Amino acid sequence: MRLLFDQNISFRVVKQLRATLPEVVGVRECGLLNADDFQIWEYARQNNYTVVSFDKDIPDIGSVRGFPPKIIWLRTGNLSNQSIISLFKNHFEQFAAFIANERKGCLMIFPASALDNQITEE
């Protein structure tokens, strides 16, 4: 699972997830730390990454330009680093199924209190 984490997600999350998901990178590692959202979206498209972001601008680009790249949009509000790590570890199969589905482009994740019932694919 090739995931590109946006700059609004700590590099510490990326580092810890890489232990179990080796193809996880952050924008910082790709030379995109201060890049605009379109540059991040385009990098992900060219390099076959799914973008993970809290920011609605990347899904907005996807809604106009289509996919790839696929987008995992965290609409959970602020989460601790550990909560983000747990989210990806606990729902790995759902994320992998989303990425494998050729008809889906955006996966929206809602607050953790209702997470199992609040994963929405577009």
pTM given for the model: 0.87
| Domain membership of residue 90 as a residue range | 3-121
- Split into its structural domains, the chain has a count of 1
**Rounded distance between C-alpha atoms, residue 79 and residue 112, angstroms:** 9
pLDDT, average across residues 16-34? 92
Could you read off the pLDDT of 13-23 as tens digits, one per residue?
999 999 988 89
| C-alpha span between 98 and 64 (Å, rounded) | 20
Give phi and psi for 3, each to the nearest 5: -120, 135
CB-CB contact of 73 with 59 (8 Å)? yes
